[in-house]
Structures are given as structure tokens and as C-alpha cells.
Amino acid sequence: MMSRAGAIASALALPLALLPAVAQASPTSPDHTTPSGVVDGRTRPGHTAPERGPVGHRLPKTATMTGSGGAVASVDPVASQVAIDVLAKGGTAADAAVAATAALNVVEPYATGMGGGGFFVHYDAHTKKVETLDGRETAPRSVTPTTFVEPDGTPMDFDKAVNSGLSVGVPGTPAMWQEILDRWGRRSLSEMLAPAQRIADRGFVVDEAFSTATTENAERFSKFPATAAVFLPGGKPVQPGHVLRQPDLARTFGMLRHDGVDAFYRGPIGKAVVETVRRPATAPGVAVPRGGMTMRDLRTYRVLPKKPVVSSYRGLDVYGMPAPSGGGIAVAEILELVEQSEKRTGVPLSRTDDVQYLHRFAEASAAAFADRNRWVADVVGVPTDELVSEAYAAERACGFDASKAAPRPVAVGQPDGTYAPCGPIAAGRPGTVHDGASTTHLTVADKWGDVVSYTSTIEQFGGSGMVVPGYGFLLNNQLTDFEFVPPTKGVPHPNLPGPGKRPRSSISPTIVLKDGRPVLAVGAAGGATIITTTSQILLGYLDRDLTLVGAVNAPRLSSRNTDAGAEPRLYDSSTGEALRGMGQPMTSVPALGRATAIAMPARGVFVAAAERTRGGGGSAMVVRPRH
């Protein structure tokens, strides 16, 4: 089997004229009822979508689409269609990413929105540079290392912290949208938020997945009347088929369109956020911890440009997010460790069977998680270059045994620049990780060749559970991504809370270049499993000869050192049995993460891929489909 990494090199050498012709179809086929007009209020010729009534309910969920003119992969067809409309009308990938994420705020409000944050990786076809933006939520000045410690010294109950004002970080997403447009956009914020405002106003049709998620969160949503009013109409979770209109949210988008992000960071939206955090409006008899956010915290919020984490994998350059996300570092370390396993055994990953492939992957991810948990946080001096270096990986992979799993948890490595000869893998300490399943990943590419990999989140599915009264959006609970207490008693940990600090993340938006040109963009949702999902898709596509949609949909394994899960299609298979026979720990988990990706197999050709079934299925679209 030739690895895709090798094949990519030859495909890129193809002259354009040799590529199959791409159909010049309209961005959407005429039988779709599109949220057409969501961008500019006009319907395109041949489109008869009504100006009133819910948007997008007849859009098909397509897991993969190939073509030209630009592409998008998201978790939702309405959001993907918004992006395609922007791209088809000459917007950049950055423009489309802002418009689609704002639309996701409406149709995936439990996963993302202006009350949260995110990380953004961008390839600029003009400068040929990959740059990143850190739009992570930030702890208010009032936060201290003991914010999540009870008076008796015990860590606060996790759910108590989640459903409270205490866990709300200063949102980064509105500022991120403006920053993205300032740097790489051709459109205004007002234009790019128009589709979201329209969808919130007209409503969308609730599907099974959304209804189920509402039911799962109903108890905590009922604690907050403003949340219950939106998602539990008449006291009951919204049901499939219900048209969910969000007029407050539509008005808030209108304010942002009219007054810009100042309406958020200096104006009435921010004031309402601060009020909600400091004095959560709860149902009778319900009391939740209050936070200490102030307008000063909002005014001083900044999106931070960050130097990407760059590592080399089989001659490809892999770009990801640096701290405070552990995602870029851990994905890079996993790839390095897998490459080292190959060197040690002499058998390329492309030639192993599934058992050996997944065994190598699990050993690598367990080691990378030990390191990520210990070394990565929002502090100065994260040993990023060492953690993703070949020399460090060579030392770390030395003790890997091709026939059996190292006992978990494995010990943390010492990325100190001096690397010892081979030895067995040392044992580590048990730990806990809270894995949410929230967040959403969006991948976009435009006709100029710009590429976006953007993961945005409000942390837990449904965030803090608190909708800002009168404004219609959920606030994050991102500060629960801090360690509540030091994992080792008395030893300070870099990911303890602190004023102005950003909690460590697992978010892993990734862009892969070959000889300076993008060939793949990928990322995922799913808490800490984001790292394993993203790595497994990279390996599946680059090494295991899977199609992109095949790599996205392959059954997942997530071995995270102190915890490990496998989806039933893997767990219940002979491969799963063989892995357990080698000592690979795993429990059966119904579904791990939700991913999206775009491959660029040749100049101007895009293969977009999304989930077929996880989370109810995602949506891949291109501007001009190839038929």
C-alpha cells in the first residue's frame, strides 16, 4: 500500500489541464430549499425559498462532496450553505468561516456561539503563511487558584461549577470574528452576521439530535428561566419538527451588525453578560455560585495571534494551535511517536494490519496525553519545541513494545533537551479528565486557495446552561477546563486557575502543507478526544489509504492514558478483541467526537468530508460540485 503522504507529492505535480473537468453547477441544486437570501436577502434565480418560515429544512446532509470554487465542511447543512453562499459570491474562506460560525450559533447553540471562544488556523494563499488566532475565553481578574475549592479544601463538585457564573470565561468569539475579517476578510462583520440574524429570526426545524441534546440538558436548563424559555417551551424540551425561532438572539446579532463588537465588549450585550455572571437569574429555590466578571474584564479582552506549532510528518508540515491549547502539541507528538514506532519496527504504518496500527496509535496517544496533562497550560515556558521534536519522540518511543501495551498510566516524559538511551516505559499516576462532547469544528477553503480550520466552543454541551436574559445566547463554562486543585497535593500545576489566564484546551484545528501548499485541513469536537480524533483522521488519510470521508467515519479509538474508549464498531470487532488481548485498555463508548475535513488533492480541487452518522451527520459542500 502506498502511503497517501507519498501519493500527495505526485498528485500536486499534476498540471491543471489533466484534471477531470468540474461541473459548473449552481452552488446548490435547484431542488434544495436553501436558506437562500441568507446572505443578502435576495433569492437566486431558480430558487423559490420563501422569505418567511424556517430555513434549510430540506437541505440534504451530504457527508462528502468533491469539486471546485471553494468548499466547506461543518456539522450542519444550514451553516454549510451559508458558507457556500459567501464563497460563491466572492467572499474569502475567512468571510465564510465567520458567517458559518455565526449561523452555527443559531442552529448548534449548545456547541458554539458568541458566549464562547475558539482557536483559528489560517493558510493565506497570497503570503503562503499559516497563522493562528487564540480566541480562548479568559478568566476574569477575580479568579484565583482556589476559585474552584470549597472552604473545607475539597475541589468543588464539577456540575456545581459548570452550572454557575463562576465557570464563565470572558467570551472571545465576537472579537475573534472581527479579527478574522480584519486580517483575511473582504466582507464586513455586518454582512457576515446577516445570515445568522435571518436564521434566528425565521427559525430552523429541530431534528432528532437537537431534541435529544435538549432532553439530556433539560434538568439543568430548567434552573435558568431565560434558558428554559428558549429551549424548553411550555416546560418541555423542543421536539423534532418544532420550528425554533430565537428572536432575542436575532436582535443581538442586529446589535452587533449595527454597532460592531463594541456592543459586546463595551456596550449593552456585555453589561447583560456581566449581570448574568454576577447574579445568575435562577428558577425559584435554585441557587448557583456567582462569578466576578466586570466590564473591565470584557474591555481588556484580546484575541491573540500565536506562532503555530509546526511539526514534520513524512515530509509534510503539520500546523496546529500552541498553548493554551494542548491540541497542536499533542497531535504533533502522536504523529512523531507513530513515526518512531515505524523506525523501531522497520514496518511502515501503511503495511501493518489494523491491530498493529491502532496499537501504535494508542501507545503514542497515551504518552502524548501524559505530557499534555503535565506540561501544557497558559504559562510561560511550555516546552513546545521539545515535545514535538524527533529526538524527544525517539526517547519516548524507545520503550514501546510492538506486542503489548505499556501499563497505564504511563509516566510523563522529560522534554529537557537531553535524551537518554532506551528504557522501559515508567508508570505514571492516575488522574481524572472531564470529557465533554461539545464544541464544533468548521473547515473552509476558497477559490484563491486560502484555508481555514476553526474550532469554536462554549465548553460543555449547553455551556454553563445560562442564556443571557433578553439576548438569547448561552454562556460558556470554559473555566472548568482548569484543574480545580493540583493533581499532586501541594505541587503547583500550570493549569490551575488564575486572573487573566486561559484554561488549557484540547482543541486541535490542523492544516497540513506539502512543499508549502495546503493538502489537508481537519479538526474535531469532543473534549479531550478531539486530539485522538484529529490524529486518527490524519493517520487514516495519510497512511491507511482511506478516503477522506472514510478516515472521518472510521471507528474511533481514544487512548488517553488515564482513560480509554473505543466505538462499538471497533470494540466489538476482532480488532478490538486483539487490542484488548495485547493489554490495550478500552471501554465501549457509543460515539467519539464529531469531525470535519477538507483535502486538496490538486490545485483548485476540494474534497470536503463530514460525519455520516455521528451527531446526526454533518454537511460537506463545494461551490461547483464535480458530477
For 439, the grid coordinates are 464544541
- 589 contacts 50 by C-beta, under 8 angstroms: no
For 397, the grid coordinates are 518511543
Q: Which helix (H) or strand (E) holds 359?
A: helix 354-375
Total residues contacting ligand GLU (rule CB under 6 A)?
15
x/- map, 494-533, ligand GLU, by CB under 6 A? -----------xxx-----------------xxx--x---
- 321 contacts 306 by C-beta, under 8 angstroms: yes
- Beta carbons within 8 Å of 346's beta carbon, 6+ residues apart: none
- 332 contacts 321 by C-beta, under 8 angstroms: no
User: CB-wise, 410 or 437, nearer to ligand GLU?
Assistant: 437
**Applying CB under 6 A, which part among 50-58, 383-391, 431-439, 610-618 lies near ligand GLU?**
431-439
Q: Is 80 annotated as a binding residue?
A: no
Interacting positions 433-452 with ligand GLU (CB under 6 A): 436-439
Rounded to whole angstroms, how far apart are CA atoms 239 and 210? 8
Rounded to whole angstroms, how far apart are CA atoms 560 and 307? 26
Nearest to 72 by CA among 96, 56, 90, 105: 96
**Smallest separation (angstroms) from ligand GLU to the CB of 527:** 3
**Smallest separation (angstroms) from ligand GLU to the CB of 376:** 11
User: CB-wise, 27 or 526, nearer to ligand GLU?
Assistant: 526
Longest Cα–Cα distance of the chain, Å, equals 72
The residue whose grid cell reads 480541487 is 605
- CA torsion angle for 63, 38, 458, 160 (degrees, to 10)? -110
**Smallest separation (angstroms) from ligand GLU to the CB of 447:** 31
Interacting positions 462-481 with ligand GLU (CB under 6 A): 478, 481
Among residues 66, 138, 173, 457, the one that binds ligand GLU under rule CB under 6 A: 457
Q: How far apart are the first and last CA of the chain?
A: 28
User: CB-wise, 191 or 459, nearer to ligand GLU?
Assistant: 459
Interacting positions 287-346 with ligand GLU (CB under 6 A): none
User: CB-wise, 68 or 478, nearer to ligand GLU?
Assistant: 478
Rounded to whole angstroms, how far apart are CA atoms 54 and 48? 13
User: CB-wise, 356 or 534, nearer to ligand GLU?
Assistant: 534
Rounded to whole angstroms, how far apart are CA atoms 519 and 451? 10
Q: Is 505 annotated as a binding residue?
A: yes
Dihedral sign for Cα atoms in the order 349, 353, 359, 362: positive
Nearest to 608 by CA among 543, 558, 551, 568: 551
**Smallest separation (angstroms) from ligand GLU to the CB of 63:** 21
Strands (E) in 106-160, as ranges, are: 117-124, 129-135
The residue whose grid cell reads 434558558 is 227
User: CB-wise, 507 or 608, nearer to ligand GLU?
Assistant: 507
> What residues are paired with 119 via a beta bridge?
134, 455
| Ordered alpha helix ranges (H), 108-206 | 158-162, 173-184, 189-202
> What residues are paired with 305 via a beta bridge?
133
**Smallest separation (angstroms) from ligand GLU to the CB of 190:** 29
Rounded to whole angstroms, how far apart are CA atoms 209 and 213? 6
**Smallest separation (angstroms) from ligand GLU to the CB of 440:** 9
Active site residue 439: yes
Rounded to whole angstroms, how far apart are CA atoms 294 and 463? 20
**Smallest separation (angstroms) from ligand GLU to the CB of 450:** 25
Q: Is 104 in the site for ligand GLU (CB under 6 A)?
A: no
From 66, 352, 439, 534, active-site residue: 439
Rounded to whole angstroms, how far apart are CA atoms 577 and 570? 9
For 375, the grid coordinates are 506540561
Q: Is 136 annotated as a binding residue?
A: yes
Which residue has the closest beta carbon to ligand GLU?
A: 436
User: CB-wise, 81 or 457, nearer to ligand GLU?
Assistant: 457
Q: Is 588 annotated as a binding residue?
A: no
User: CB-wise, 525 or 597, nearer to ligand GLU?
Assistant: 525
- 36 contacts 44 by C-beta, under 8 angstroms: yes
**Smallest separation (angstroms) from ligand GLU to the CB of 173:** 13
Binding-site residues from annotation for L-glutamate: 136, 481, 505-506, 527
Residues of this chain that bind ligand GLU (CB under 6 A):
436-439, 457, 459, 478, 481, 505-507, 525-527, 530
Catalytic residues: 439
